[in-house]
């Protein structure tokens, strides 16, 4: 009888311990995401490493794509990192000889995610090719670094301001989103802005560009976006070609920091290098699962 009572007590204890742990398991699940790289445009122009990375080969071709990233949360959130662009808004597309363009909301449909399902857009930086598609997602909150916002809507348009890659129509769009209560400003580095989603700064690709770290359930993933243009900079710890940052040393320091955040550098994703779609499994045309 004592053995039975003892066994019953142990069972009750085990059940109670399990129930106490359930919230922690649920929290851990809600903090993980399926991560996808989504290509929505390519280019008919041949680019070379030296055009994207200091020290790169002048005659070494590099495949360039335009992409954004989807974080499908166990918590039901569909988060985008960047939002692509609308070609009718920009002139720079002529320089890049944009090819194979798919509107970002249409590209997202390949993953079964409708525009209205997107809860948040984390903007790495406000260049035309990363911001212009934000209004395609009517229910999304746009997350942007405060210093980047202030530079983008203010200082960039003063005499001798740094406005390369900025579109005036995007400035008006961001101001309208702010007026509508759909812009959330982030003040600084190493901030968890959503469950399991942390942003970091330091590369100075724009006034205060940011990159994103999430967990896919097994690995930490860093979405560098244009805080690393191509794999050459990641592999050789070099800044971008001139004009890609106002702080080359800080840019390299940021890459070094990214490498401390992941178990394997393969989980650091550059912003424009098509080879990301060769390194990870294809789940749909132009879409790679980062796992």
Give per-residue pLDDT as tens, 33-91. 999 999 999 999 999 999 999 999 999 999 999 999 999 998 899 999 999 999 876 66
Q: How far apart are CA 207 and CA 176, in angstroms?
A: 21
Q: How far apart are CA 93 and CA 98, in angstroms?
A: 6
* Local structure of residue 105 (DSSP, 8 states): H
Q: Which two tokens stand for residue 57?
A: 């080969």
Q: Which two tokens stand for residue 241?
A: 């070609």
Q: Of 229, 222, 189, whose CA–CA distance to 205 is shortest?
A: 229
Cβ neighbors of 159 (< 8 A, separation 6 or more) are: none
Q: Which two tokens stand for residue 224?
A: 């560098």
Q: How far apart are CA 86 and CA 122, in angstroms?
A: 18
- pLDDT averaged over 10-residue windows placed end to end, the chain, 291 residues: 58 51 51 97 97 98 98 94 86 81 98 98 98 98 98 97 94 98 97 98 98 97 98 98 97 98 98 98 98 96
pTM above 0.95, yes or no: no
């Amino acid at each position: 009888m004592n053995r039975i009572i003892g066994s019953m007590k142990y069972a009750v204890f085990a059940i109670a311990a399990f129930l106490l742990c359930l919230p922690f398991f649920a929290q851990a699940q809600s903090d993980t995401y399926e991560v996808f790289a989504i290509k929505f445009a390519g280019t008919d122009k041949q680019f070379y490493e030296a055009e994207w990375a200091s020290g790169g080969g002048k005659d070494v071709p590099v495949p360039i794509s335009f992409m954004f990233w989807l974080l499908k949360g166990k918590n039901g959130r569909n988060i985008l990192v960047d939002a692509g662009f609308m070609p009718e808004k920009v002139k720079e597309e002529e320089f890049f000889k944009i090819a194979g363009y798919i509107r970002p909301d249409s590209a997202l449909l390949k993953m079964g995610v409708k525009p209205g399902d997107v809860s948040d857009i984390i903007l790495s930086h406000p260049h035309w090719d990363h911001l212009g598609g934000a209004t395609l997602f009517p229910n999304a909150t746009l997350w942007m670094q405060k210093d980047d916002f202030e530079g983008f809507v203010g200082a960039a348009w003063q005499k001798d301001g740094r406005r390369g890659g900025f579109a005036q129509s995007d400035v008006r769009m961001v101001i309208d989103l702010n007026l509508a209560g759909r812009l959330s400003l982030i003040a600084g580095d190493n901030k968890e802005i959503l469950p399991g989603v942390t942003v970091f700064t330091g590369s100075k690709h724009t006034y205060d560009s940011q990159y994103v770290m999430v967990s896919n359930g097994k690995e930490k993933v860093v979405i560098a976006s244009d805080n690393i243009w191509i794999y050459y900079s990641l592999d050789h710890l070099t800044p971008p070609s001139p004009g890609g940052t106002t702080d080359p040393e800080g840019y390299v320091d940021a890459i070094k920091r990214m490498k401390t955040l992941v178990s394997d550098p393969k989980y650091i994703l550059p912003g424009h290098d098509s080879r990301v779609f060769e390194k990870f499994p294809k789940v749909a045309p132009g879409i790679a699962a980062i796992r």
